[in-house]
Amino acid sequence: MKLADTRAVITGGASGLGAATARHFRDNGASVTLFDRDAEKGQALAAEIGATFVQVDVTDADSVRDGLAAARAAMGGINVAINCAGIATAERTLGRKGPHDLETYRRTIDVNLVGSFNVSRLAAAEMATNEGTEKGVIVMTASIAAFDGQKGQAAYAASKAGIAGMCLPMARDLASTGIRVNAIAPGIFATPMLLELPEEVQAGLAADVTFPKRLGDPSEYAALAAFIVECGYLNAETIRLDGALRMQ
């Protein structure tokens, strides 16, 4: 599949990794529809790059169905879904204030894991109607926390490990339909949330990266997502993108 032939839905597309991916895909001729809860940022970016924006809650089935219908109408179909929507929480299993808040845990799993599955399953149904042997590509966003999560990351690591764990069975489920499924596991990236930290904190995080000793650039995530789309033999893989970082 060539990027110029891509009709991509990108969740979490208003900022961070999703926004960088949307820019990269549009720069290379793809049609793009952004899904995000932030209508102001989503509409502004869509207008800037020539994309479509739909306000979508990835955890809600009806919201995603409506969003996909709008994307299909705008682009003439859907053959790529990239899941970048997610939240990060930091709370220990047992902290000074007591046990980990259960609703926070549930919300993290719901947005990061259930939301990714919800979008992927419904996007797959759209892709199944496409012509040709390869009908579509799904890209999910895991994290290196799925493999070496740190203190305070029980909820986040569990949600991202779930994405890594469902990549293979989902690829097997969709093989007969002609849909490939892969995931990217980013390390420490210069996203808006991380860039809000003091510079000395950012420098300390970068120092732990093996090489190159810097934060990842969202454009590098976008480039890998594009490679996954175009490399027809790449399937059922969770690819670490982390400068060889192994978190302590």
Q: Which of 105, 156, 221, 233 is catalytic?
A: 156
pLDDT tens-digit readout, 64-103: 999 999 999 999 999 999 999 999 989 999 999 999 999 9
- CA–CA gap between residue 113 and residue 110 (Å, rounded): 6
Looking at residue 126, its pLDDT comes to 98
Structure tokens at 64: 């995603």
CB 170 within 8 A of CB 183: no
Could you tell me the domains of the chain?
3-241 (3.40.50.720)
H-helix or E-strand spanning residue 92 = none
pLDDT tens-digit readout, 113-140: 999 999 999 999 999 999 999 999 999 9
Mean pLDDT of 178-184: 98
**Is 156 marked active-site?**
yes
Of the candidates 216, 207, 230, 164, the one whose C-alpha atom is nearest the C-alpha of residue 187 is 216
Q: How confident is the model at residue 224 (pLDDT cuts 50, 70, 90)?
A: very high
pLDDT tens-digit readout, 1-48: 999 999 999 999 999 999 999 999 999 999 999 999 999 999 999 999
Looking at residue 28, its pLDDT comes to 98
Cis peptide before 218 (omega within 30 of 0): no
